[in-house]
Amino acid sequence: MDIVIRHGTVVTAGDISQTDVGIEGGVVTHIGRGLGPSAREIDASGKYLFPGGVDVHTHVDFELLGNRSVDDFYSGTAAAACGGVTTIVDYALPAPGQSIQGSIEAWQQKAKDKTIIDYGLHPVILEPTQKIIDEMAEAVADGHSSFKLFMIGMARFDELAAHYMKVIAQAGRVGALTNIHAEDQCLISYLAEQFAAAGKFGVRHFADSRPRLSEGLAVQRAIAMARYAEAPIYLVHLSCEEALAPVREARAHGQIVYGETRPIYLHLSRERFEEPDGERYLGWPPLREASQMQVMWDGLRCDNLQTVATDHCGWSLTQKKSGKKVEDLLPGMSNLETMLPMLYSEGVSKGRLSLNRFVEVISTNPAKLFGLYPQKGTIAVGSDADIVIFDPKKAVTIRHRDMHSRSDYELYEGFDVTGWPTMTLSRGEVIVENGKVLGSSGRGKLIRRKRFSPM
Ligand code: MN
């Protein structure tokens, strides 16, 4: 064997066991106690072995509202690897008039020489024409088995809803899962105009400009559209009860609907917008009242939410502070490096999530939903040796200076967490050891994903 990791506690979605893990040719080949000798021996006494995190919602190298994000596929995936994330699925946005294939190729160009971890791509559809709908089957055959729709102005959703419904139906027919950003643009546009007329500018008014009901309304509409299109949907970054309630109800009726939440809605609340530089916390949808954080934790525990994903997009604080009107404020933040340790510390250590559920929501479920399982998402014989060695006792105060994203601020500056990755392996190669990045740029591969099947 190339590597044996000994004496660790292996945690999967279904199991916890003290056992050795043997790796050969980049895959797990042996699991059991007292495995034979190997070229490299790694002692994991007192540590957990988790399957590497699978973050299915990232914008690593991205342009929005005239700004280019500060990370590229090197810094973004180095941050991911340091935080125990070994696979991302990034959103490939088309240029105006571009084909699905064209947007995939453009994103591969950005990623291929830089990424240090494996990645997949979700094609985004911003122009739901018949030509694009006709291209969807080929995209899925090429291994891109999910599409993204935005129910907001940048996608002209309200104007083109009937066409977008055909996209959802076609995705179902060709074996893809449709990811949906659910916020109601009618309410958002109306409120933005009212706020501007009343002189309510800036981040302090942001949460009220995109209210919980705008999210709830859009989730209800998306679920109804998917029901009549007879297709599965995956609702990204849900933040509040108004969004979760229709998901819970649809799932109870057997509809194939999944929900994702995002770390910020578990760890932060809207009071943050009152801080100096409150723009640093700004995302679409906004942070909500503190009461909603518990709603999100309950949703995760009870399987009304299936995944946690970051929506990572690294900006500088200057970029974040450049918008004036509420609708011009730049959403998104760097989050890949802290997702696992924050969720472990706030979730597992505080008794909100079991160890198995933690692994399920950060690795196994996203891998299953997006056609990556069992290559990714578990530690099993035959799976890629994407493994995080995690020290549950390591106390860390989160500081921007220790982070690997090129963003110039840290969302959780000064937060104390217990538990941090000490080593990250990707396909059997140690790519991070004690915070030092060892993986070379461009070593990561584009993963061609399988067709969607319900879980
Ligand atoms: Mn996003």
Residue 124's DSSP bridge partners are 148
Spatial neighbors of 105 by CB under 8 A, at least 6 apart, are none
Domains located in the chain, CATH noted: 3-50+380-437 (2.30.40.10), 52-369 (3.20.20.140)
Q: How far is the CA of 1 from the centre of ligand 1 (A)?
A: 40
pLDDT at 326: 86
**From ligand 1's centre to the CA of 330, what distance in Å?**
12
- Find the 218 Cα to ligand 1 centroid distance in Å: 16
Tell me, in angstroms, the distance from the centre of ligand 1 to residue 435's CA. 27
Neighbours of 106 (CB within 10 A): 15
Cα(283) to ligand 1 centroid in Å equals 9
Are the C-beta atoms of residues 140 and 450 closer than 8 Å to each other? no
Cα 45 to ligand 1 centre (Å): 38
All residues at 6 or more sequence positions from 107 whose CB lies less than 8 Å from its CB, including other chains: 90, 92, 121
3-state SS, one letter per residue, for the chain: CCEEEEEEEEECCCCEEEEEEEEECCEEEEEECCCCCCCEEEECCCCEEEECEEEEEECCCCEECCEECCCCHHHHHHHHHHCCEEEEEEEECCCCCCCHHHHHHHHHHHHCCCCCCEEEEEEECCCCCHHHHHHHHHHHHCCCCEEEEECCHHHCHHHHHHHHHHHHHHHHHHCCEEEEECCCHHHHHHHHHHHHHCCCCCHHHHHHHCCHHHHHHHHHHHHHHHHHHCCCEEEEEECCHHHHHHHHHHHHCCCCEEEEECHHHHHCCHHHHHCCCHHHHCCCCCCCCHHHHHHHHHHHHCCCCCEECCCECCCCHHHHCCCCCHHHCCCCECCCCCHHHHHHHHHHCCCCCCHHHHHHHHHHHHHHHCCCCCCCCCCCCCCECCEEEEEEEEEEECCHHHCCCCCCCCCCCCCEEEEEEEEEEECCEEEEECCEECCCCCCCCECCCCCCCCC
CA of 236 to the centre of ligand 1 (A): 8
Ligand 1 centroid to 311 CA: how many Å? 5
Residue 61: which of 425, 406, 418, 421 has the closest Cα? 406
Alpha carbon of 57 to ligand 1 centroid (Å): 6
């129910």: which residue's tokens? 151
Helix axes 157-174, 212-229, angle to 10 degrees: 40
Listed residue (118, 186, 195) closest to 156, CA to CA: 186
The pLDDT value given to residue 327: 86
Question: What's the pLDDT score for residue 176?
Answer: 98
**How remote is the CA of residue 117 from the centroid of ligand 1, in Å?**
20
pLDDT for residue 390: 98
Q: Say how far apart CA 386 and CA 54 lie, in whole Å.
A: 10
* pLDDT for the residue 187: 96
Give the max Cα distance, the chain: 73
Tokens standing for 425? 């392996």
Nearest to 390 by CA among 7, 48, 42, 8: 48
CA of 126 to the centre of ligand 1 (A): 14
- Give residue 323's pLDDT: 86
Q: Identify residues whose C-beta is under 5 A from ligand 1, the ion.
A: 311
Query: Which residue type occupies 276?
Result: P
How far away, in angstroms, is 2 Cα from ligand 1 center? 38
**Of 391, 409, 387, 402, which Cα lies nearest the Cα of 435?**
402
pLDDT digit string (tens) for the chain, length 455 residues: 999 999 999 999 999 999 999 999 999 999 999 999 999 999 999 999 999 999 999 999 999 988 999 999 999 999 999 999 999 999 999 999 999 999 999 999 999 999 999 999 999 999 999 999 999 999 999 999 999 999 999 999 999 999 999 999 999 999 999 999 999 999 999 999 999 999 999 999 999 999 999 999 999 999 999 999 999 999 999 999 999 999 999 999 999 999 999 999 999 999 999 999 999 999 999 999 999 999 999 999 999 999 999 999 999 999 999 988 888 899 999 999 999 999 999 999 999 999 999 999 999 999 999 999 999 999 999 999 999 999 999 999 999 999 999 999 999 999 999 999 999 999 999 999 999 999 999 999 999 999 999 99
